[in-house]
Structure 1
């Protein structure tokens, strides 16, 4: 078992939906037991998307990732017109209340035109405090995180507003300088959205957002461990610099996760998936991933991370990043009984969520 105190042979006792005991001393069985994965950045999976605001599709996407061990996930939207953001928020709020989703993540539309990546450039705009207030109010607690480029006019005020309303502010899709990024951190941003991707690259005379985020002790840095978003050497280096308590491994998955190669859609744009890689048809920009968290765990271990550190980056750290450390993310008494049983090859054998086996 991978517990907060390390890797041990032992057992988990569950009553109802809650872990009541984590004991040690049981002989090893050849299996691993880890906490349910916590994915704080997902656009869909299993042929279903979060980005259209369809509640039925969202339920199916969450079920797909649950089968791969993700027991807690945010539904990530992409840059969209105001009416679609309102529609999606209203549609997903009941799923958050039900526990199907842990919350809503707006990845945009307050992002950099120069670093928009697969975000639809026609929907990008400066932050609006009135719009954010209305969306947070409409969500009734469902809005959990918002990604913002800190250099846009009004961005620092928007970050402060989000933090005051209990919403996590993230920095991403940004052309900010090093100092502009740190200003966003000082305003209250605590997450770096898929660090390296959709960001001004590092330069030794203008380090930009990447080094600012990796060096900021208050920031959890998202990394996508699919071998496409990041070279394995970059993944290993960044995770070592930030450490397991400041690294959250995410999927950034889109509807094509778990599906065959072919043509898909993201934010109203055509996406072509070939050999696991999802790219915009118009310019080849990376358009999310086809990753699942169990595959991400295996890759993290393959590039040299310890099992203990890799699991922490997939569970405990992302749970803390979105304010759920007291509910999920660890094998510990009092937390929700979310467990994944893995075989010796780290492939999913069984999944328990809230005390019930799938």
Structure 2
């Protein structure tokens, strides 16, 4: 692993044209992209993949009884092996002190390791200001769900050393609209999620500055009235970007295809992966959902609540395969949903694009478009001009 500097050159096939290119990075910035002579075995080369919703993975738990900097390191390194170069660790509903401790551990990891710090774009705070209703609450702990509290949020932001960048909340709650205005005034993205909102609540949230929907179509009632309902309302609201989980379980293919069409360039993929991503099938005790079952097919559900999922056991590469094979997306179309689209949703200038002046984040990978079992294999992940993983 190369830690000698943030300067280097990487060769691969351009996602858009298929032509062989060299991307030259100096001081962590893409300085030049040039055509090179063809070589056998060149991987595909794209801007670094981005995941805005990561609860943990590979055994690293960002929401455990005591999250440590080691959990953050384990999670980050696993993500690198899956092509993710930039992400938002996600801290979910828990007590004020426990959420604060998790955020402090994330900040510690960022401060103690430059590569990990360069891989983390901020913290996604998912809850505790969400619906208490079964279904919309999802697998969040019911006795810790509570109303928006600006003073508490400020405590958590101090614990995070100012790293909270995205907050998921239910806009129908008392005080939610005021908190959305506070968040957006501080440059923090406010997202609608785990909500049973009415049409009026969703419109009011967008008016107050909310610009995103968290894992749209999930964190909802198992059965909804035909129309209106909060999924239709968020699909129709052009001011909202939408994160979608494409693991083959959270959204059926027909629903995923419809949502992608409705949201257009405002749609992007998230993994929502948990600490159990990468673990063998079985029954586990997990902080997200309590007793959960990870099935052979990758479905991760709450054991005693059929139909309620406990996050995801997959990573972005599997979501990309769903688009490529399940929905017949082209490679450029699919890669956009894990690069430029999530970057745009967060307002991250330059991220997610492969062009001179962009931050030096790259994902190099092989893709078996013949339908073989290997699917996507990560060849190398580059963070801020440093090679952090080689397959």
Structure 1 residue 199: Cα displacement: 2.6
CA contact (8 A) 2:139 2:289 kept: no
| Matching of residues 8-47 of structure 1 within 5 Å | 8-11=18-21, 12-24=23-35, 26-27=37-38, 31-47=43-59
CA deviations 1:292-325 (Å, max 9, x no partner) are 1112111111112222221111111112222323
CA contact (8 A) 1:80 1:267 kept: no
- Counterpart Cα distance in 2 of 1:124 and 1:164: 24
| Matching of residues 221-236 of structure 1 within 5 Å | 221-236=242-257
- Counterpart Cα distance in 1 of 2:347 and 2:358: 14
Structure 1 residue 204: Cα displacement: 4.3
- Counterpart Cα distance in 1 of 2:178 and 2:288: 26
Q: Secondary structure at the match of 2:52?
A: strand
Residue 310 of structure 1: aligned partner: 334
- Counterpart Cα distance in 1 of 2:34 and 2:144: 52
Structure 1 residue 146: Cα displacement: 0.8
Residue 54 of structure 1: aligned partner: 68
| Matching of residues 237-248 of structure 1 within 5 Å | 237-243=258-264, 245-248=265-268
Q: Which moved more, 1:280-289 or 1:68-77?
A: 280-289
Counterpart among 194, 218, 223 of residue 173 in structure 1: 194
Work out whether 1:279 is the aligned partner of 2:289.
no
Structure 1 residue 56: Cα displacement: 1.1
- Counterpart Cα distance in 2 of 1:183 and 1:233: 30
Count of aligned positions: 353
Structure 1 residue 60: Cα displacement: 0.5
Counterpart among 337, 349, 358 of residue 360 in structure 2: 337
- Counterpart Cα distance in 2 of 1:180 and 1:223: 21
- Counterpart Cα distance in 2 of 1:214 and 1:75: 25
Work out whether 1:261 is the aligned partner of 2:275.
no
Residue 175 of structure 2: aligned partner: 154
TM-score by length of 2: 0.85
Residue 351 of structure 1: aligned partner: 381
CA deviations 1:45-82 (Å, max 9, x no partner) are 00111113322111101110111000011111111001
Work out whether 1:63 is the aligned partner of 2:77.
yes
Q: Secondary structure at the match of 2:337?
A: helix
Structure 1 residue 352: Cα displacement: 1.9
CA contact (8 A) 2:123 2:165 kept: yes
- Structure 2's unaligned 5+ residue stretches are 1-12, 112-116, 369-375
* Higher Rg: 2
- Counterpart Cα distance in 2 of 1:112 and 1:315: 30
Residue 10 of structure 2: aligned partner: none
Q: CA RMSD in A?
A: 1.9
- Counterpart Cα distance in 2 of 1:253 and 1:28: 36
- Counterpart Cα distance in 1 of 2:108 and 2:29: 23
CA contact (8 A) 1:236 1:304 kept: no
Structure 1 residue 137: Cα displacement: 3.4
Residue 72 of structure 1: aligned partner: 86
Change (3 A) 1:266 1:138: closer
TM-score by length of 1: 0.93
CA deviations 1:168-190 (Å, max 9, x no partner) are 11100011112211211111111
- Counterpart Cα distance in 2 of 1:86 and 1:356: 30
